[in-house]
């Protein structure tokens, strides 16, 4: 999409199935996941660098990880989602979604997810 001569790369979420499966197992997370998904899928979302994700969701809700990954806190910091973002193409791959307590257990595995 080009607006006023500036190329805009709209974020596409890949592996939506992961979100749906987690949501089906844990229905109470549905409002937070749907709210996050709607924000990310809005036409005004442009992520060109990790700081754009932080700007969108706030410094207290986003961790910038290695290798173009970000972790976003959802649902009052109960659920975390790790995305691998291809900033130049506007694609975000869901690499992991789970409870905060399970995220804490990942340790060094976070960088290989």
Taking only the tens place, the pLDDT of each residue in 49-85 is 999 999 999 999 999 999 999 999 998 888 999 999 9
Considering only CA atoms, give the Rg of the chain.
14
Look at the pTM and tell me if it is higher than 0.75: yes
Rounded Cα distance, 87 and 47, in Å = 6
- pLDDT-based confidence at 10, cuts 50/70/90? low
User: What is the DSSP code (8-state) at residue 47?
Assistant: -
* Residue 106 burial (C-beta neighbours within 10 Å; 0-12, 13-18, 19+): middle
Helix 16-25 to helix 30-41 angle (10° resolution) is 160
- Show the domains of the chain with their CATH numbers: 8-112 (3.30.2310)
């Amino acid at each position: 999409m080009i607006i006023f001569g500036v190329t805009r790369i709209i974020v596409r979420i890949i592996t939506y199935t992961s979100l749906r499966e987690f949501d089906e197992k844990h229905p109470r997370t549905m409002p937070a996941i749907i709210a996050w998904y709607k924000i990310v899928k809005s036409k005004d979302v442009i992520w060109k660098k990790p700081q754009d994700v932080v700007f969108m969701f706030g410094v207290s809700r986003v961790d910038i990880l290695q290798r173009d990954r970000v972790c976003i806190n959802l649902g009052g910091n109960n659920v975390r989602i790790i995305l691998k973002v291809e900033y130049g193409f506007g694609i975000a791959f869901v690499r992991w979604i789970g409870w905060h307590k399970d995220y804490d257990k990942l340790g060094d595995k976070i960088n290989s997810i």
